[in-house]
């Protein structure tokens, strides 16, 4: 199945060893790997499994992204962490896209009701997108599946 798949999607709730084995199998078959950390403590599992450089896409929320930044020795500035101004956040992450993408093809950082920041590497070019949340918070009936911080 993995050999025929476009992606293997791994959830941070899996044991670290399972993540390592799944990534190694996907790498063997040339199948891309998407890692969804699900929690700040689980962001580090791809580093603990020594497979962070084999992950193609990751989609952390902003708190998980902060942990990712610490793990790659690129701490976010305090004002980005405390002020949460969407445009400044996007500008800072965009300016440092090369460092944050490292070996990733795509990085999707969800920032709750502020939307998402997407960085994508296409060979020698990096595209950057700031996608605003489509709804006002007052219009939300259920937050299930709506993304998180």
Q: Residue 80's beta-bridge partner residues?
A: none
Per-residue model confidence (pLDDT) at position 21 = 98
Per-residue model confidence (pLDDT) at position 139 = 61
Per-residue model confidence (pLDDT) at position 49 = 98
Task: For 30, list phi and psi in degrees, rounded to 5.
Answer: 75, 25
How many residues in the chain? 149
Ranges of the chain with pLDDT below 70: 84, 134-149
Per the prediction, the chain carries an average pLDDT of: 89
What is the residue whose two structure tokens read 């990085």? 107
Asked if residues 101 and 121 have their Cβ atoms less than 8 Å apart, the reply is yes
What is the residue whose two structure tokens read 């689980």? 42
CATH number of 2-139: 3.40.1190.20
Per-residue model confidence (pLDDT) at position 143 = 60
């Amino acid at each position: 199945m993995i050999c025929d798949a476009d992606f293997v999607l791994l959830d941070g709730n899996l044991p670290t060893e399972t993540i390592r084995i799944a990534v190694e199998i996907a790498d063997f078959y040339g199948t891309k790997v998407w890692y969804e950390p699900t929690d700040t403590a689980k962001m580090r599992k791809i580093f603990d499994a020594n497979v962070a450089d084999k992950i193609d896409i990751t989609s952390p929320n902003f708190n998980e992204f902060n942990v990712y930044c610490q793990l790659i020795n690129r701490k976010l500035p305090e004002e980005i962490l405390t002020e949460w101004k969407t445009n400044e956040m996007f500008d800072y992450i965009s300016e440092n896209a090369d460092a944050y993408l490292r070996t990733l093809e795509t990085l999707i950082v969800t920032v709750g009701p502020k939307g998402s920041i997407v960085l994508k590497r296409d060979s020698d070019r990096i595209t950057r997108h700031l996608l605003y949340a489509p709804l006002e918070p007052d219009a939300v009936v259920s937050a299930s599946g709506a993304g998180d911080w």
